[in-house]
Amino acid sequence: MNIHIAKVHDVLKGEKTYGTTILVDRLWPRGVKKDDLEPDLWLKGVAPTPDLRTWFGHDPAKFSEFSKRYIDELNASNDKDLETLVDATSRHPVTLLYGAAGRDHNHAMVLATWLQK
């Protein structure tokens, strides 16, 4: 499995992506025009629920608990988007795109680790 993670704003500045580009945010990234970012897929259903995202608030002190809760959501999910993502990652390289400000504490990191297990 070949999974890369990239911040949307870095990709717009020229950071390289690999394989299929997949936006894994529930909301379109703030400050980004849809014409400027054209991911191969936008899988909203793989993102944390709004309640979990709001609770986390991108607070690094909550990241460990956020990760556990998000993994619980992923394990319990039967969302079609998650099926699509698992299928895509099993067949070819992908780049998970995220819009969160935090590079070290974001859901794309948790999602990539979950997918690799």
How is the chain split into domains, by residue range?
3-116
Burial of 50 from C-beta contacts in 10 A (0-12 / 13-18 / 19+): exposed
State pLDDT tens for residues 23-75.
999 999 999 999 999 999 999 999 999 999 999 999 999 999 999 999 999 99
- Phi then psi for residue 7, to 5 deg, are -75, 130
Element (H, E) at 47: none
Confidence of residue 82 (pLDDT cuts 50, 70, 90): very high
Q: Are 45 and 74 in contact (CB under 8 A)?
A: no
